[in-house]
Amino acid sequence: MPVFLNTHDADFEAAFVALLGAKREDAPDVDEAVAAIIADVRARGDQAVIELTARFDRLHLTPETLAFSAEEIAAECAKVSAEDRAALELAAERIRAYHVRQMPEDQRWTDPEGASLGWRWTPVSAAGLYVPGGLASYPSSVLMNAIPARVAGVERLVICAPTPGGVANPLVLLAAKIAGVETIYRIGGAQAIAAMAYGTATIAPVDKITGPGNAYVAAAKRRVFGRVGIDMIAGPSEILVIADAANDPDWIALDLLSQAEHDESAQSILITDDAGFARAVVAAVEARLQTLERRAIAGASWRDFGAVIVVRDLAEAAALSNRVAPEHLELCVDDPEGLAMQITHAGAIFLGQWTPEAIGDYVGGPNHVLPTARSARFSSGLSVMDFLKRTTMARMTPAALRAIGPSAERLAISESLQAHGLSVRARLERLNEVRDE
């Protein structure tokens, strides 16, 4: 059964702190193994990747078959039904339209001293997108990672998508094609991250790696950060629903289960100001669990990490939500816009009872790659900005240097950086010579 908390209880604060601190990541200490894999790929390149793929994915490759051929991609895409293709194309269109609006503008201006200042945005040259394989193979994640990169203007995009036993997911390949990605490597795990970060004879290195993965992938991304950029270190999925008694308990139960079915370590939390409604939702969850294909996974998640919190009012609910800083936050209340104004920490907010989180996973438009494990306190979901770099611009005129240069020289002297100060002083002296002539 999930944890039941009530803010009226004397021990609520201690119980809530324990809930926040509970470790959900079911991952052994994999860092040592990942370090060895990365070192092996750096030393032996393609051969290491091929041997590791045979060991972990039961797939025997050669340098020539590391990537899907154009013919293989076409053949797999042809297996997708017209209805599924249409759904992917609709999702891609909406995701693209949303992310186009995120593109920032270059700026350039002249300040009162006559200096020209500004910035410009340029994309990373190459990005590698990791797509999990097996049961966690999601074509929607391909769209959510690749489309923002394309909108940003990334020139070279590659995907690493493991195919255990050689079985590909046609929807993943079609999603890649729709998003404009032509190079898809059938490799995964820490070896795929290492190959994209450091390169091999066959796989050219990239500048940024994004996409979810298991504990080995997460550890590998952590280790290669600095050599390349990464999006985030993602943990198990999570949802928090703030709902009042005017909702259908079954709808809220399904929303909670929509994340619980992802992973046994996923977390679903309900906060409500009505104890009777809380009980009705729990009963609905238990009933729906009996009907789900992934009931074993969803049941374990709900049993081990689920929580139901009864609060005095919705203001208290918002305050608790900000402490949780959830990946997904549903506001199923009479005035969701008003309540949203009280929310400062959340990866994504879904407003009103007609906006289930599942819409955001597929066709809403905003990105579904979001911060987990309370990291929404300081980070954001994947966006076009993850594939762009801001370069600042500055140009001094003689008048501008004369106006602000002495202060720069003064600060350089205060920091005992003589050459810094002299580089400014030499120019100021030249300006003085010209003025005296």
Q: What is the pLDDT of residues 299-316, one digit of tens each?
A: 999 999 999 999 999 999
Domain around 52: 31-104+120-230
Q: Is the pLDDT of residue 273 over 70?
A: yes
- Are residues 186 and 150 part of one domain? yes
List the end-to-end C-alpha distance of the chain, in Å, as a whole number.
88
Return the SS3 of 270.
Answer: strand
DSSP per-residue string spanning 109-169: EE-TTS-EEEEEEEE-SEEEEE---GGG--HHHHHHHHHHHHHHT-SEEEEE---GGG---
Q: Is the pLDDT of residue 26 over 60?
A: no
pLDDT in the model for residue 112:
97
- Are residues 246 and 283 part of one domain? yes
Tokens of 163: 């195919």
pLDDT in the model for residue 244:
98
Q: Give me the catalytic one of 76, 328, 330, 357.
A: 328
pLDDT band at residue 77, thresholds of 50, 70 and 90? very high
> Do the domain assignments include residue 390?
no
Q: Evaluate whether 316 touches 296 at the Cβ level (below 8 Å).
A: no
The residue assigned the tokens 């994915």 is 57
CB neighbour list of residue 195: distance below 8 Å, 6 or more residues apart: 41, 45, 49, 160, 185, 187, 203
- Are residues 296 and 167 part of one domain? no
pLDDT band at residue 289, thresholds of 50, 70 and 90? very high
Q: Is the pLDDT of residue 385 over 80?
A: yes
Dihedral class, residue 143 (left if φ above 0, else alpha if ψ from -120 to 50, else beta): alpha
pLDDT band at residue 134, thresholds of 50, 70 and 90? low
Compute the average pLDDT of residues 18-29.
78
> Do the domain assignments include residue 418?
yes
pLDDT tens, position by position, 340-362: 999 999 999 999 999 999 999 99
Compute the average pLDDT of residues 151-167.
96
- Are residues 245 and 225 part of one domain? no
Local structure of residue 341 (DSSP, 8 states): T
- Are residues 289 and 246 part of one domain? yes
- Are residues 47 and 13 part of one domain? no
Active site residue 328: yes
* pTM across the whole model: 0.93
SS3 per-residue string spanning 193-227: HHHHHHCCCCCCCCCEEECCCCHHHHHHHHHHECC
- Are residues 174 and 90 part of one domain? yes
Q: Give me the catalytic one of 261, 327, 330, 409.
A: 327
> Do the domain assignments include residue 386?
no
> Do the domain assignments include residue 369?
no
Which of these, 390, 383, 385, 389, lies nearest to 145 by C-alpha position? 383
The C-alpha atoms of residue 380 and residue 368 are separated, in whole angstroms, by 11
Count of structural domains within the chain: 3
Return the SS3 of 104.
Answer: coil
Tokens of 436: 């005296």
> Do the domain assignments include residue 377?
no
- Are residues 311 and 215 part of one domain? no
Q: Which helix (H) or strand (E) holds 267?
A: strand 267-272
> Do the domain assignments include residue 311?
yes
Q: Evaluate whether 207 touches 234 at the Cβ level (below 8 Å).
A: no
- For the chain, the average pLDDT equals 96
> Do the domain assignments include residue 251?
yes
pLDDT in the model for residue 135:
57
pLDDT tens, position by position, 208-264: 999 988 889 999 999 999 999 999 998 899 999 999 999 999 999 999 999 999 999
pLDDT in the model for residue 136:
63
- Are residues 264 and 188 part of one domain? no
- Are residues 214 and 200 part of one domain? yes
